[in-house]
Amino acid sequence: MEKNEDGSMNLSGIMGRYLHVIMKAMDVPYEVAMPKDREWGRLSSDGNWTGMIGMIQKGEADFAMHFFTISEERTHVVDFSPVYMTGDPTFAIKKPGRISTSLAFIHPFQYSIWTMILISIVLMPLAFRILLRTSYAYSKIMLTFLAVLLKQPSLMNLESFSSRIFFCSWLIFAMIVSYSYSAVFLSLLTVPSEIPVVRNFKELSQAVAKNNYKCFVPKGSTVFDALVDSEKKHLNFLAQVAVHHKWYLGSYDLTTTPQINTHSAVVDFRFFLDTVAGPEEWKEHFLSEDSLVTLPFAIPMSKHFCHKIRLNKLMSRLNSAGIYMQIFREEAFKLWLASPERRQSVNLEKRPLSWRDLIGAFVLLLIGLQLGRHVYFLKSNSLRTDAMANPIKARARQMDQAENTSFALEQQTFAAKDLLVCTLSSLQQAKREGQTFLSNPPGGWRALGSWRQSLLVDNKSTNNCDNILMKMFIFKLIVRWNVEFLHVGHKLNNGRETCK
């Protein structure tokens, strides 16, 4: 409501335009008065009403235009027109934004699931070693299980059937966990999820009690009465805190109000908050789906208002024509157009991953390198300290290490010797087979021998043909020798010292 230069009133907004339509249809002169306390109307301890309801009670106004709800207490002092709409009180709070993709590798699982995975990585290798009585070290088993979880190949040789069954169970577990993680991780990098926000009045009361949140309510309104009269303790708590800290709504537009932020919520009617809050991505405020109660809206008027019957008939006609809802939609759209800076932009362009998306992985790598560096220096200092404190014991440890190294070299020498013996045996056997074949070839090869005799002209041709046959046997020898070599090498890798 604004005053023009000639002193007349310019009515704007939802209720201003609706009042203008009503008074234009009634065609009567009127004056607009404002309550000094700027309240809708609440019953005080002395039995009188405050705000606009109080002005009607005292005869200072004939009727009031605002979002008034019908209540039993108000019907004792005022009459109400036909209901023109209904609404439910809820709250709006600013959306905290999206989760940073730099730590997206942590968010695919909840912390409880991460804890269970870490416990499984620690305990499963221990159970594998104890139950199956394997000779592998615990560290090697754990690294193998971790490699499988990271989709890496396993290098363990599982000989017993029970160990294979045990390991297959871990393979199934690792497959489910790894594929689930990959799917969620990819979705988080593609479309980052939003940071969780308080979604109902119970969470809002907990946030106000523990996390220094604020909750603003309309002073002297039915919304505040609904919080006070509720049977739920968390709603009574919100009303008590609002009264104690005087958290009342100011005279701000919803598009510019500073009372809605990430740690401050506004409680009002849903249709009113829906203009700036909602599930749409371009709206920067979150609108809760929780509600206090459904309330009807009507115009309060004096019990002695002379145009009461006429106003009631006019309200019925306006409701049938849908005038109020049309005005409400138009004003809400104007409000949305008037505040482009309050709308969030939705960027759907394709972009490659940047260093901000993967900085968490690099930080994790640096932390691992630093831990390895510290462990190395601690181990070196420990060995140096032991050597200085007890040189005899340190010398004995060095001699043991030298003996172990010498024993390992000796074992490798024996293995190489056995491999050479096997190779020579294969060569001798191939030579014997070649001589036997030349002295008594099979039927098919006899035909080849006849063809060879028919082509021989001199001793030089005979030598060339023998060279061809010898190359064939050398090829067979190479193939067989490679098979023997691979077989012996596989046995050497498993710690065996002999070949068959």
Average pLDDT over residues 293-307: 90
CA 499 to CA 426: how far, in whole Å? 12
More confident residue, 446 or 210: 210
Window from 33-47, 111-125, 480-494 with minimum mean pLDDT: 480-494
CA 61 to CA 52: how far, in whole Å? 8
How many percent of the chain have pLDDT more than 70?
73
More confident residue, 139 or 497: 139
Average pLDDT over residues 280-308: 88
Average pLDDT over residues 326-352: 71
Position 118 pLDDT exceeds 50: yes
pTM for the predicted model, two decimal places:
0.57
- The mean pLDDT value of the chain amounts to 77
pLDDT of residue 238: 92
More confident residue, 39 or 243: 243
Position 498 pLDDT exceeds 50: no
Beta-bridge mates of residue 89: 269
Position 445 pLDDT exceeds 60: no
pLDDT of residue 202: 92
Average pLDDT over residues 494-499: 41
More confident residue, 92 or 281: 92
Position 19 pLDDT exceeds 80: yes
Window from 114-123, 252-261, 302-311 with minimum mean pLDDT: 252-261
- How would you label 215-250 residue by residue, b for 16+ Cβ within 10 Å and e otherwise? bbbbbbbbbbbbbeebeeebbebbbebbeeeebbbe
Reference 331, options 4, 6, 5, 19; nearest CA is: 19
Per-residue pLDDT band for 446 (boundaries 50, 70, 90) equals very low
More confident residue, 336 or 93: 93
The amino acid sitting at 240 is: Q
| Cα angle: 402, vertex 405, 410; to 5 degrees | 125
Strands 9-10 and 2-3 turn out to be: antiparallel
Give DSSP secondary structure letters for 19-50. Answer: HHHHHHHHT--------TT-----B-TTS-B-
pLDDT of residue 400: 65
Per-residue pLDDT band for 458 (boundaries 50, 70, 90) equals very low
Q: Which range has the top average pLDDT, 171-185, 192-206, 351-365?
A: 171-185
CA 74 to CA 71: how far, in whole Å? 5
Average pLDDT over residues 115-127: 91
Position 471 pLDDT exceeds 60: no
Q: How do residues 218-227 score in pLDDT, each as one tens digit?
A: 887 788 888 8
pLDDT of residue 203: 92
Position 448 pLDDT exceeds 80: no
How many percent of the chain have pLDDT more than 90?
17
pLDDT of residue 457: 42
Contact 284, 95 (CB under 8 A): yes
pLDDT of residue 33: 86
Average pLDDT over residues 440-457: 46
Per-residue pLDDT band for 451 (boundaries 50, 70, 90) equals very low
Window from 121-130, 269-278, 450-459 with minimum mean pLDDT: 450-459
Window from 23-27, 55-59, 418-422, 490-494 with minimum mean pLDDT: 490-494
Window from 146-160, 172-186, 446-460 with minimum mean pLDDT: 446-460
Q: Which range has the top average pLDDT, 5-14, 138-147, 345-354?
A: 138-147
* Strands (DSSP E) found in 15-121: 79-80, 85-87, 89-94
Average pLDDT over residues 46-73: 88
pLDDT of residue 265: 92
Position 349 pLDDT exceeds 50: yes
Tokens 């199956």 belong to residue: 132
pLDDT of residue 340: 64
Rg (CA), the chain: 44
Position 490 pLDDT exceeds 70: no
pLDDT of residue 460: 42
Q: What is the number of alpha carbons within 13 Å of residue 81 lying toward its C-beta? A: 29
What is the number of residues in the chain? 500
